[in-house]
Amino acid sequence: MRYVRTALLARRRPREVLVVLLTAPHAERPLSALLTPVRATRLVLRPEDVGGAAAWQTLVRDGFLRVLRRDAACPADAAIGPTVRASLLAAEVPTGAVVTGRTAAWVHTGHDDGAALDLTYPAGRHQPDRPPGARLWQGPLLHGDTAHLDLVPVTTPDRTVVELVLHVPAPVPAVLALARGAGADLSAARRSLERRTRAVGRPRAREHLDAAEAALARADAEAEAGAAVLDGPA
């Protein structure tokens, strides 16, 4: 049996994955038995980094790797933040476009699988090329509505909430993820929505925000009730 250590670019703490090259005497053994994850020196691992698609899929199946988006994964115990997730989109975002909607919610919080590619561009600007399968719409992006993460422009959490409730059919789970995991202020998002007097779909967007705020209120009430039970009578 031969071992090959993948040389990978470090983004965070050093890790490394040791991939076993199959030789004839071991060809009948399960692939998972021949893969020994040790320290990795790259946070994001694609199939070519671990010996091919079969090895990558086995590492995912056996719980050694966690899929981030499509064919990008990371060691199962790695802490992944918005900057790393945004970096996975760099090659897909055309010049002049800004990541928003479901994709921005994934960047900020890791919500959902990140497969969608929602993009916007500022009003009055030339429409960027739309990548295959992506959604692209125009929006009145103001100063402060966009942040750059690993050079990728992404709408801020508050702005992302507005884009979600206006453009995504079932946005409440993503809105809740932004409120809980990225500090999105739903009241600020509502004020921003009301300033967009010409935005199509504002009545339905208000309903989505109402539903998200009600869900947060219920969760807070349940947490307080649970804490009261644990504390017992005064």
How sure is the predictor about 230, in pLDDT bands with cuts at 50, 70 and 90?
A: low
pLDDT of residue 8: 41
Q: What are the tens digits of pLDDT across the range 93-134?
A: 999 999 999 999 999 999 999 999 999 999 889 999 999 999
Instruction: Find the mean pLDDT for residues 217-232.
Output: 82
Which residue intervals of the chain are DSSP H helices?
Answer: 53-61, 82-87, 101-109, 157-167, 172-181, 186-195, 202-231
| Residue pLDDT, tens place only, 10-23 | 344 444 444 444 44
Q: Would you state the pLDDT for residue 68?
A: 96
pLDDT for 153 beyond 50 = yes
- Taking the domains of the chain in order of start, what are their residue ranges? 2-77, 85-221
| Neighbour tally for 174: CB within 10 Å | 26
Burial of residue 71, with CB atoms counted within 10 A of its CB: 0-12 exposed, 13-18 middle, 19 or more buried: middle
Q: CA dist 19 to 42, 55, 105, Å?
A: 14, 8, 34
Q: List pLDDT tens digits, range 159-201.
A: 999 999 999 999 999 999 999 999 999 999 999 999 998 899 9
Residue 26 pLDDT: 45
Check residue 14 and give its pLDDT.
41
Query: Are 68 and 74 in contact, with CB atoms under 8 Å apart?
Result: yes
pTM as predicted: 0.82
Q: Which residue has the tokens 């969608």?
A: 116
Question: Which percentage of the chain shows pLDDT scores above 70?
Answer: 80
Is the confidence at residue 52, as pLDDT, over 60? yes
Look at residue 222 and give its three-state secondary structure.
helix
CA angle 46, 50, 52 (to 5 degrees): 80
Cα separation of 214 and 94, whole Å? 37
